[in-house]
Structure 1
């Protein structure tokens, strides 16, 4: 085990061949702004560059995974997108090392999309997922519309995407989205147990399994994400999108105009 390192918003810690990446922005419920996205991308680069790190874990500090995009920062023109790598520097990145999401509390919007970009999910029983973007005049373009219908039944995914309703972790586990449910506060310890079970195996075998699954699914995801962008771009550039972010920042109901 080594001491945690990194920027104030993102900490990394090595634990016997496992790199724990922790989003630590308690003042924003671990929502991701531009600086946090770049720090997460750097942490993933560290995970990928080192042969002695066999598994990564993505989690959030203070009992919250991530509230997704920092809408207050977005309203000011800041973006949590890293060019060529997607939201938080993760969602459009071909990550070769197995990555586990350890989810406590809320994983909303981009938080759910970060979890979907991971290979496995461990969640506390009281955790909550949700693609809430429609409430703010936008859509989930970083995997929510592409990966969620592949992980759970399409009709359930469509309901969640169209309503923005929350998805409790217990229901997510029933649907197959979550690998393991834990008691509150135990998601990271359980994720570490899972990670060490993986890391105990032969490195070449681990890499081969991940590569085969990547080449079978991740490239298809990349194509689908690219194709959806034609429909998503006008929504993200709309007056309603700006109104949704302003309404959130001002703590009021949005006034949609349909343009």
Structure 2
């Protein structure tokens, strides 16, 4: 870890990962990339951490994308597969994640917000895939077709123009909008709502959503049934109905 990325391991099982270079608009510089790789690894390997919130320092930028000066200095052409830390892509994670977008999420900033399972945004946030403006590419945007309509995706990519948080909510890119000073509280509320569920059910549910975006209907159904076998045969699968019938809060064991 380095001070470019902060890691807050809360006692309630929520990890808050913060890109901490507001003076650089939290761009994906080398030190930020290294810090994010380390933070995601720490999150995945800590059994006490059940969900992570990714955000940026300050109010102006969640992440403004790659470090263009670094790209020029390196003469960067095709980015190496392991250059940018993208959850569930070149970073293997088995737990849910939330992006808390506090300002602009441009280019690589959109990329890492898109990669998270859920997204909460400040009302002042803006989103843009700006690669066409600087002659770069956005192959990472391909999964976006499972989130928003094709023609809207086409316009966003071909024009590079920003969309507001309200527009992002309308097209289904983000889950919730919050006033700037309530962004983290809103993200934490969503995280706690996820944590109320049985851990194995949440894990299998997340896998089902991803399977459904990658497979045809029949194949996804078959794979989802397999993904839920552990859930159905777990202690928690008996504890949940028992707690409901006894009118008490369930005590999940995650097993």
TM-score bracket relative to the smaller structure: 0.7 to 0.9
Deviation at 1:47, TM superposition (A): 1.2
Distance in structure 1 (CA, Å) of the matches to 2:16 and 2:75? 26
Moved over 4 A (4+): 81-86
- Identify the residue that residue 248 of structure 1 maps to in structure 2: none
Question: Unpaired segments of 5 or more residues in structure 1?
Answer: 1-5, 221-259
- Identify the residue that residue 112 of structure 2 maps to in structure 1: 114
Deviations 1:87-119 (A, max 9, x none): 235353342110000001100001001111000
SS at match of 1:95: coil
Q: Is this contact kept in 2: 1:82–1:89, CA < 8 A?
A: no
The count of corresponding residues between Structure 1 and Structure 2 is 212
- Identify the residue that residue 14 of structure 1 maps to in structure 2: 9
Distance in structure 1 (CA, Å) of the matches to 2:8 and 2:39? 10
Q: 5 Å matches for 1:148-163?
A: 148-163=144-159
1:29 lines up with 2:25 in the alignment: yes
Counterpart of 1:97 (choices 88, 95, 98) is 95
- Identify the residue that residue 200 of structure 1 maps to in structure 2: 196
- Structure 1-normalised TM-score? 0.76
Distance in structure 1 (CA, Å) of the matches to 2:98 and 2:43? 12
Deviation at 1:213, TM superposition (A): 2.7
Q: Which moved more, 1:6-15 or 1:156-165?
A: 6-15
Deviation at 1:201, TM superposition (A): 2.0
Q: Of the two, which has the highest radius of gyration?
A: 2
Q: Is this contact kept in 2: 1:11–1:22, CA < 8 A?
A: yes
Q: Is this contact kept in 2: 1:125–1:182, CA < 8 A?
A: yes
Cα distance change of structure 1 residues 128 and 158 upon mapping to structure 2, 3 Å threshold: same
Q: Is this contact kept in 1: 2:86–2:115, CA < 8 A?
A: no
Counterpart of 2:35 (choices 39, 45, 52) is 39
Cα distance change of structure 1 residues 101 and 205 upon mapping to structure 2, 3 Å threshold: same
- Structure 2-normalised TM-score? 0.77
SS at match of 1:185: helix
1:183 lines up with 2:145 in the alignment: no
Deviation at 1:189, TM superposition (A): 1.4
- Identify the residue that residue 245 of structure 2 maps to in structure 1: none
Distance in structure 2 (CA, Å) of the matches to 1:187 and 1:78? 37
Deviation at 1:147, TM superposition (A): 2.1
Distance in structure 1 (CA, Å) of the matches to 2:206 and 2:16? 19
Q: Is this contact kept in 1: 2:85–2:91, CA < 8 A?
A: no
Which protein, 1 or 2, shows the higher relative CO under an 8 Å CA cutoff with sep ≥ 6?
A: 1
- Identify the residue that residue 169 of structure 2 maps to in structure 1: 173
Question: Unpaired segments of 5 or more residues in structure 2?
Answer: 217-255
CA-atom RMSD, angstroms? Answer: 2.2
Q: Is this contact kept in 2: 1:37–1:82, CA < 8 A?
A: no
Deviations 1:154-201 (A, max 9, x none): 101101100100011100101111100111232221111110111122
Counterpart of 1:147 (choices 143, 147, 151) is 143
